[in-house]
Amino acid sequence: MEQESIVEARGLTAAYGEEIILQDVSFGVKRGEIFVILGSSGCGKSTLLKHLIGLYPLAAGDVSIDGKSLANATGADRQELPRRLGVAYQSGALFGSMTLSENVTLPMEEFTKLPADARNAVSWMKLRLVGLEGYEDRLPSEVSGGMQKRAAIARAMALDPAVVFLDEPSAGLDPVTSAELDALLLGLREGLGMTFVIVTHELPSIYTLADRVIMLDKRRRASSRREAPKTCATTLLIPSFGSFFGGRPNEPKTELCPHRFVHRYRFGDSGGGTRRFRRRSAFSPARLY
């Protein structure tokens, strides 16, 4: 029996004014899985996330959370559905004048009637889950970038959401801290059965975390495929897949300069960085030797 989808997008179209960013995107996120939204910069990953959580209205289509339509919800239902979602933004978005504990208790102050003692107890528990026990009274500026990311995840879990959305959780972190954050997310999924939807383009995190991925194609303004990341990496029929997982540009880019033509490749290409073309003349077509 196929596992139920806790988040489902059907024919989702996202636009800013007259400009269509994503068109007719459909997929489902299964309960208890780590689902990754990936693609090149500017393809609409963060835009998709913001539409999934109801931050922006859909131009067309629908998103359902636990079987309830987000687009068609009104009144109290429209206010209640987003509270079933936890969100940690790329920068962490912690309030700098509030301690880590106060940041985590803020959603409970706004949306629950729990007394202060109960809120503080929940905050302590959430911070302990992400490895920040003993740092409850620190300000965001007094902890490292990785610890700020963990505190943001703790705040996203404050209301025990059905799904937690993470926008580039490992952005700006060193490889060791990024791997530790990946291990934390896996532990939360395994220990608590949490469902995560993660926006990222970090290949190590994708291979470590993802049960399934959706690949956004900037040129088609749509999704290419929804499957396991290792399957995507071996897909040669879709050029954007090979380019993304192989670390190669979609098309060679030649830069014109007075002295030589330079063809730049990303890290996946043999030669390692910059290949040089032998100059024939200052502005003549270059040939690779």
Give pLDDT tens digits for 163-189.
999 988 887 788 888 898 899 899 989
For the stretch 269-278, pLDDT in tens is 444 444 443 4
Q: Looking at the domain 5-246, which fold is it? A: Rossmann fold (3.40.50)
- The whole model's pTM is what? 0.75
Q: Of all helices (H) and strands (E), which one includes residue 207?
A: helix 203-209
CB neighbour class for 145 (10 Å; exposed up to 12, middle 13-18, buried from 19): middle
Question: Crossing angle of helices 175-192/145-156, nearest 10°?
Answer: 20
Three-class SS state of 239: helix
Which residue in this structure is represented by tokens 């985590």?
104
- Torsion sign over Cα 141, 145, 146, 148: positive
76-109: pLDDT as tens digits: 777 777 778 899 987 778 898 999 999 999 999 9
Contact at 8 Å (CB) between 50 and 58?
no
Across the chain, mean pLDDT equals: 77
Q: Where are the domains of the chain?
A: 5-246, 252-289
Burial class (CB within 10 angstroms; exposed 0-12, middle 13-18, buried 19+) of 210: buried
Strands 253-255 and 34-38: unpaired
Examine the pLDDT at 4 and tell me if it is beyond 80. Answer: no
Tens digits of residue pLDDT in 110-126: 888 899 999 999 999 99
What is the per-residue pLDDT across 115-162, written as a single tens digit (0 to 9) for each? 999 999 999 999 999 989 889 999 999 998 888 989 999 999 999 998
